[in-house]
Amino acid sequence: MSKLMYDFGLVGLGVMGHNFILNVADNDFTVCGLDLDEEKVRSLIEAGGDSQKVTATTEVGTFVTSLSSPRKIMLLVPAGDLVDKAIESLLPHLDQGDIIIDGGNSFFTNTDRREAYLKEKGINFFGAGVSGGAEGARKGPSIMPGGNKEAYEYIRPIFEAASAKFKGEPCVTYLGPKSAGNYVKMVHNGIEYGLMQLTSEIYDVLKKTCDLSNDELSATFDQWNKGRLQSFLIEITAEIFMKDDNIAEGRLVDNILDKARQKGTGKWTSQNAMDLGIPVPSIDIAVSMREISALKDIRLKADEIYSRPEPVVRDKSELLKQAEEALYFSFIVTYAQGLHQLAEASESYGYELNLSEVAKIWRAGCIIRAALLDDISTTFSEAPGLKNILMATSFVTKVQAALPSVRALVSHGVKSGIPLPGLSNSLTYFDAFTSGRLPLNLIQAQRDHFGSHTYERIDQEGIFHTDW
């Protein structure tokens, strides 16, 4: 290892860490990596070439002393105990003012705990969500950092250089104190779950009721990706339909088991939205659908017990138009719900989030990047304090115009026995959110009837109870 003082340190040389180091080095910073696995250390040094910008070691003391002060050390290790272990191994070697950045999908309360613990020792701790997968890490991810604002200035040049760029603007910004970064990344993933579920439903309805081939599905998604639905998820969906299977006949997508796994970030988004009292049903149902998908054995048996209607065959061009409008509508609703959750979390947890900036750093690099986010960012910048984009005049016309198609498509799914829970939940959320009067007066009456829980009236102030 050379005697150079390195600008940046990274612990965990898995594919994300390896790639992120090469990305940072491409941007003219020197980087040292740490991993206990000698093979990973060797592979990184080899990938770094002769430039002297990259080195790596298995020895924590050597690693820490090779870094310039204040040390900027990023952890890219799996969320959970390993983060605490990595922190403990670094601590004896660190000085006051050094900075540790957790780049994993850590649960936000763990980030708060770690930040408080390290603050007592004079170490600045950042939770910084990184989105974009292995390719994003190498070519430019979206980075969502939260922590101490002054300390962020030390890491800002590195993150701005290594992040994805949208029309030249870096897809990273200081988001807020404490766990603001991890929280924003968690909700990013919740939205990701929602968008993926919606896309799979459109695939189902087009395949089952219009008999679209994989070639036609690919062409459809490709065409949509050139319009207002332009997004990473739509782009890769078009690619997926074209991939041949190299083990069996046909296209790979048809031979993949319909059981979706999950690591937990979508579920955390839903759970915390409930704690905050903010409805995010398009995300909730996406989590539930992964759970239903996992019950494959019982689903197969239930499929034999119950009959379902024959899919209603529809005119292709009309259905395609409705599908595009329904997808656009439900994408808007899903972003609206996730961002509404962020607005509430910002107040409840003191994150001081700027939602326009959040939408801005999601415009490139991350999994939910989409043309829509540019509109969303502008909307929030024009209306600071806005909580739900469905209330913004810029979205009213777009949403209103799509509604007849959404209603037609959801009814088509119901008549054909095709589950469209993401689309229908987005629609019913919208119908409820935009209803001046809901039937929940009856629920209040029931609560008061069986439990004397009291109710309020529409015509008088105060709390009432009736002897029913």
Q: Catalytic residue at 321?
A: no
For residue 70, cis peptide bond before it (omega within 30 degrees of 0): yes
Task: Name, in order, each residue with C-beta under 8 angstroms of 389's C-beta and a sequence gap of 6 or more.
Answer: 332, 335, 336, 339, 376, 379, 380, 395
Least separation in angstroms between CB 366 and ligand 6PG: 6
Asked whether position 378 contacts ligand 6PG by CB under 6 A, the answer is: no
**Binding residue (CB under 6 A) for ligand 6PG from 209, 220, 237, 265:** 265
Asked whether position 367 contacts ligand 6PG by CB under 6 A, the answer is: yes
Least separation in angstroms between CB 353 and ligand 6PG: 18
Contacting range for ligand 6PG; rule: CB under 6 A; set: 125-133, 223-231, 329-337, 432-440 = 125-133
Half-sphere exposure of 292 (CA within 13 A, CB side): 11
Burial of 253 per CB tally in 10 Å (0-12, 13-18, 19+): middle
Q: Looking at residue 3, what DSSP letter applies?
A: S
Dist CA 321 CA 130 (whole Å): 35
Gyration radius of the chain over CA positions: 25
Nearer to ligand 6PG, 147 or 266 (CB): 266
Nearer to ligand 6PG, 243 or 263 (CB): 263
Tokens of 12: 């965990």
**3-class secondary-structure state, position 237:** helix
Residues 202-241: x where in contact with ligand 6PG by CB under 6 A, - otherwise, as a string:
----------------------------------------
Least separation in angstroms between CB 126 and ligand 6PG: 17
Provide φ and ψ at 34, rounded to 5°.
-130, 130
Q: Looking at residue 362, what DSSP letter applies?
A: T
Q: Angle CA(391)–CA(352)–CA(7) in degrees, nearest 5?
A: 125
The amino acid at residue 57 is T
Nearer to ligand 6PG, 253 or 414 (CB): 253
Q: Catalytic residue at 185?
A: yes
Nearer to ligand 6PG, 184 or 278 (CB): 184
142-146 and 72-75 as β-strands: parallel, antiparallel, unpaired? unpaired
Residues in the chain: 468
Cβ–Cβ < 8 Å for 9, 74: yes
Size of the site for ligand 6PG (CB under 6 A): 13
Asked whether position 263 contacts ligand 6PG by CB under 6 A, the answer is: yes
Nearer to ligand 6PG, 128 or 366 (CB): 366
Asked whether position 262 contacts ligand 6PG by CB under 6 A, the answer is: yes
Least separation in angstroms between CB 365 and ligand 6PG: 9
**Binding residue (CB under 6 A) for ligand 6PG from 287, 366, 372, 399:** 366
Give the residue closest to ligand 6PG by C-beta.
131
Nearer to ligand 6PG, 189 or 322 (CB): 189
Asked whether position 133 contacts ligand 6PG by CB under 6 A, the answer is: yes
Asked whether position 132 contacts ligand 6PG by CB under 6 A, the answer is: yes
Dist CA 390 CA 334 (whole Å): 11
The catalytic position among 115, 192, 201, 325 is 192
Segment 135 to 164, residues that bind ligand 6PG, using CB under 6 A: none
Cβ–Cβ < 8 Å for 176, 352: yes
Segment 67 to 106, residues that bind ligand 6PG, using CB under 6 A: 105
Tokens of 409: 């498509």
Segment 163 to 202, residues that bind ligand 6PG, using CB under 6 A: 189, 192
The catalytic position among 185, 267, 360, 387 is 185
**3-class secondary-structure state, position 259:** coil
Going from the C-alpha of 169 to that of each of 129, 162, 316, 332, 364, the distances in angstroms are: 18, 12, 40, 23, 10
Nearer to ligand 6PG, 105 or 163 (CB): 105
Dist CA 140 CA 133 (whole Å): 10
**Binding residue (CB under 6 A) for ligand 6PG from 55, 57, 106, 131:** 131
Which residues contact ligand 6PG (rule: CB under 6 A)? 105, 131-133, 189, 192, 261-263, 265-266, 366-367
The residues annotated as belonging to the active site are 185, 192
